[in-house]
Amino acid sequence: MVAMSEQWLEKSKKYLWLPFTQMKDYEENPLVIESGEGIFLKDISGKTYYDGYSSLWLNVHGHRKKEMDEAIRKQLERIAHSTLLGAANIPAIELAEKLIEWTPPNLTRVFYSDSGAESVEIALKMAFQYWHNLGETQKQKFVTLTNGYHGDTVGAISVGSIDIFHTVYHPLMFTSYKAPFPMVYRHPSNDPNVVRDEALAQLEALFEQHHEEIAAMIVEAIVQGAGGMHIMPKGYLKGVEQLCRKYNILLIVDEVATGFGRTGKRFAVEHENVSPDIMTVAKGITGGYLPIAATLTTEAIYEAFYGDYCELKTFFHGHSYTGNQLGCAAALANIALFEKERLIEQVEEKAAFVAEQLATFTELKHVGDVRQLGLMCGIELVRDRETNEPYPWTERIGYQTTLKMRELGMLTRPLGDVIVFMPPLTSAIADLEAMISIMREAIVATTER
Ligand code: PLP
């Protein structure tokens, strides 16, 4: 008789089509998660794994956190969902109030959606229509940074720059101006200030030439996540904000990956005291429990949409599950837990421990760079550490390394040859140490064979 776990593996291969996954890979190495507890995931064979990527950068308090489960159950006793189109609900109101309290003070309005990509679509459409509603219809273009990622929908990929995700879809996309991300790694200068100033000068040149047609600039907040965990040099984001103000361009900051404590602040914009016109949040907003996202804006943007229905100023956007009560209740419980357990205040100490441990990775023969802000880390593997020559991408060294990590009891997903380490924020020091030790062993086993 075929074991139950085998049956699930077979059915997963037969019926599912997994996101961002080559199914041939999956068929060779299938995995079905059965349950989770704290910072561990368990598969159907009973093997447990550290959740080293917070189930794709979302999970904050660990799995099956009592308070989170209870809040969702309690909300279920009232209602699971009613539409937000023309009718508000209490969890959505409470969460909006809380988000406004938590985010930079200039943000005063909350527009809900269900995923990070949608929160970005909304930001783009809002920025575009804002100028349209003001009569400045020539402002239709967006500026984005090279190597950026803002989601996988058509609008979001049109402001994204990771070619492998986009090449096929180019004919579907609108064009955006690309400004260079201030990438310190592999830059001829070792001085982050030089990299910053050079990138800001290039951005200003672009603004000078095209500002009249630019609606907004969109940037990830301090860390470019999917692009390989690259961190902006200090002062760069502030510089972008100043240039946006100077050239009358809206600033959209994407906090989907960095928000809710991940970098050691509630939001990464706080590192530079930046006040975006529009900010997108998702992932950690519900602590990784349910799909809620939000786009926050200033009152000035909101007011540009205010008027008589027939003036066509209305923001024509919204989905069936927008503002879902269960999701909003989960988000409220998540934020209450942050406040009760003072989790963000603990990130600094945990991050310092991780930094100390990861520093030793730079001695490994094939580690080119270690990048970290808070508990958002990337370890870049290279063929030659002296020249930083990458592995040919067809070798898939990052993927092979994470398969080895899986065997050793830890899950994560690589970004090319960058190993992502984004543990739940509740991970104890001993757990962080154990996860780092697995990463080290897997890197050595894969790159020094
Ligand atoms: N924006 C950023 C910065 C992200 O990192 C991501 C996802 O990784 C997204 C947007 C898209 O979020 P989602 O996967 O929830 O659509």
Q: What is the CATH number for 380?
A: 3.90.1150.10
The residues facing 252 across adjacent strands are 218, 278
227 labeled binding residue? no
Q: How high is the pLDDT of residue 2?
A: 65
Ligand 1 lined by 415 (C-beta under 6 Å)? no
Q: Are residues 333 and 419 in the same domain?
A: no
Q: How high is the pLDDT of residue 9?
A: 97
Q: Which atom of ligand 1 is nearest to the CA of 221?
A: 3
Q: Which atom of ligand 1 is nearest to the CA of 120?
A: 10
Q: How high is the pLDDT of residue 327?
A: 98
Q: Are 289 and 68 in contact (CB under 8 A)?
A: yes
Residues of the chain below pLDDT 50: none
Instruction: Tell me which H or E stretch contains 351.
Output: helix 343-359
Ligand 1 lined by 257 (C-beta under 6 Å)? yes
Torsion-angle region of 102 (φ positive above 0: left; ψ -120 to 50: alpha; else: beta)? alpha
Angle at 44 between CA 289 and CA 283, to 5 degrees: 20
Query: In which domain, by residue range, is 364 found?
Result: 31-64+342-447
Cα 175 from Cα 210, distance rounded (Å): 14
Q: Are residues 259 and 176 in the same domain?
A: yes
Q: Of 340, 365, 386, which closes a domain?
A: 340
The residue contributing the CA closest to ligand 1 atom 7 is 151
Ligand 1 lined by 226 (C-beta under 6 Å)? yes
Q: Does any domain span residue 427?
A: yes
Q: Which atom of ligand 1 is nearest to the CA of 156?
A: 10
Ligand 1 lined by 207 (C-beta under 6 Å)? no
Cα 16 from Cα 30, distance rounded (Å): 11
Tokens (6 digits) for 425: 């924020």
Which ipTM score applies to this complex? 0.99
What pTM was computed for the model? 0.98
Cα 140 from Cα 148, distance rounded (Å): 20
Q: How high is the pLDDT of residue 1?
A: 54
Q: How high is the pLDDT of residue 392?
A: 95
254 labeled binding residue? yes
Q: Which atom of ligand 1 is nearest to the CA of 56?
A: 8
Q: Are residues 306 and 367 in the same domain?
A: no
The residues facing 293 across adjacent strands are 113
The pairing of strands 250-254 and 278-281 is: parallel
As a 3-state breakdown, the chain gives helix, strand, coil percent values, each rounded to 5, of 45, 15, 40
Ligand 1 lined by 225 (C-beta under 6 Å)? yes
55 labeled binding residue? no
Q: Are residues 184 and 313 in the same domain?
A: yes
pLDDT digits 0-9 by tens, 147-198:
999 999 999 999 999 988 899 999 999 999 999 999 999 999 989 999 999 9
Ligand 1 lined by 151 (C-beta under 6 Å)? yes
pLDDT digits 0-9 by tens, 264-280:
999 999 999 999 999 99
Ligand 1 lined by 120 (C-beta under 6 Å)? yes
